[in-house]
Amino acid sequence: MQQFVIEGGMKLSGEVIISGAKNSALPIIAASLLTDKKVVLENVPDLVDVRTMIELIQHLGADVMFDRHVLRIHTPKIKKIDAPYDIVRKMRASYYVLGALLAREKKAKVSLPGGCAIGPRPIDLHIKGLRTMGVNIEIEEGFINAHTRQLSGHEVNIEGPKGTSVGATINVMIAAVQAKGETIISPAACEPEVIDVANFLNAMGFDITGQGTHRINIKGKSSATDVKYSIIPDRIEAGTFATAAAITRSSITIKDCCPDHLTSILGKLEEIGVGVGRGENNIVVNGTRQMHAANIFVATYPGFPTDMQAQFMALLSIVRGTSTIKETIFENRFMQALELMRMGADITIEGNTAVINGVDKLSGAYLMASDLRASAALVLAGLVAKGRTVVRRIYHLDRGYEKFEIKLRRLGASIKRQSE
């Protein structure tokens, strides 16, 4: 295994270029299976999760070329309809092939997914939505066995106890583009990644309207065209680098991003006292020593994203006063708190709420990453901690951040990757 070794206390400066959005790229790659035409995707991040999805679609019959963030996919024929456990266990988003296989082949056998250990993430809403469209589904020996004579358009309600589901919205949307008749997803998730997938499907020649609202309308069509499409920037990577500027009290220009997708993140940084300048496709973040405590309530988009609360916990741990973070999406997403406490942070967990009393400084320590975003939070804490920090199990981070340590070094951080 590999680890990061960080010498804290370095000021950051300069520019960082944001990669394509992982959470758009994965379902879009899966959706390429809908057609026997050629698909060219640009701005595809070179991540472990992306490589895993490529491995999966190749298993299913796709011919793939991936070079310099351009992914070329051609699937003239689906050769297999099973997504095996050995691939799916590496990445939860593998379930997106379910909708694509059902649309094109009317059957699929997909292993129940793996992913980060951040609490239960059932796929019951995916199953509920697909069953509404006429899919017969059984769970047997760890696999979703699904088949249908004909996908039928229907009004699909996939709201769960914690609100709308991004994954279920996307999976149903992918399946519905070739269903007979009209499908309405309500309430649908509104995240930018949902919009991106819908825009990609429209670029293929399908007919989707309402993306970005809680009511998405899909008119089924049987054919698609060749398509060339560029993935949107990764808002979570951009938010992570914005938080890096704040925690190190530095100034960073974040390029090739979409500020409109970062409203809740940037607004919270400004509330804390961080300077934020917005351009058309860039952000300038100016850290300051005069930061204030804040309260964060995690919510579905456009609320504060669950994928940023770990990074903000690291930041708030050195902000004077008492802050709180209420996590409403995942039960076990405070796993970074214990590691931050080993660095000297004062954090108390009360159910789904973290109470953070800011301290003057953090101290370097040996740390164990538990999941993707917790990994990023520990790296951010290491950047500002006194002394040396070692973050182990960084394979979690490699699933979602492209060349993270290289981008940080270019900004002036002292961070290196080495074998444990």
- pLDDT for 406 equals 98
pLDDT in tens, 153-171: 999 998 887 778 999 999 9
Average of pLDDT values for 254-274?
98
Q: pLDDT category, 289, cuts 50, 70, 90?
A: confident
pLDDT at 343: 98
Q: What is the pLDDT of residue 373?
A: 93
Q: What pLDDT, in 10s, does the model give residues 177-207?
A: 999 999 999 999 999 999 999 999 999 999 9
pLDDT of residue 118: 34
CA neighbor of 2 nearest in space, from 375, 332, 362: 375
Domain 2-19+233-419 in CATH: superfamily? Enolpyruvate transferase domain (3.65.10.10)
**Cα–Cα distance list, 349 to 120, 232, 314, 362, 396 (Å):** 19, 35, 14, 19, 23
The per-residue pLDDT for 94 is 86
pLDDT at 345 over 50: yes
pLDDT at residue 120 in the model? 40
CATH code, 22-230? 3.65.10.10
- At residue 203, the 3 state secondary structure works out as helix
Is 190 among the residues known to form the active site?
no
Provide the residue ranges of all domains of the chain, joining segments of one domain with +: 2-19+233-419, 22-230
Is the CB of residue 205 less than 8 Å from the CB of residue 223? Answer: yes
Helix, coil or strand: residue 304: strand
- Domains 2-19+233-419 and 22-230 belong to one CATH topology: yes
Q: How much is the pTM?
A: 0.96
Lowest mean pLDDT among 107-111, 217-221, 332-336: 332-336
Query: pLDDT tens across 120-154, in order?
Result: 446 888 999 999 999 999 988 888 999 999 999 99
What single letter denotes the amino acid at residue 161?
A: P
pLDDT at 119: 39
φ and ψ of 149, to 5 deg: -75, -40
Q: Are 154 and 133 in contact (CB under 8 A)?
A: yes
pLDDT value at residue 117: 41
Extract the runs of DSSP E, i.e. beta strands, from 8-142.
13-17, 38-42, 63-67, 70-74, 82-83, 107-111, 136-140
Alpha-carbon Rg for the chain, nearest whole angstrom, is 21
Average pLDDT for 219-227:
91
- Identify the pLDDT of residue 122: 60
As a whole number, the mean pLDDT across the chain is 94
CB 205 within 8 A of CB 221: yes
How close are the terminal C-alpha atoms of the chain, in Å? 6
Residue 356 in this model has a pLDDT that exceeds 90: yes
Residue 255, judged by CB atoms within 10 A of its CB (0-12, 13-18, 19+), counts as: middle
| Mean local confidence (pLDDT), 322-331 | 90
What does the angle CA 203 – CA 205 – CA 210 come to, to the nearest 5 degrees?
70
pLDDT at 111 over 90: no
Predicted local confidence at residue 114, as pLDDT = 52
Residue of 116, 190, 257, 258 marked active site:
116
| pLDDT over 90 percentage in the chain | 86
pLDDT value at 332 more than 80: no
207 contact partners, CB below 8 Å, separation of at least 6: 177, 218, 219, 220, 221
Please check the confidence at residue 116 and state whether its pLDDT lies above 60.
no
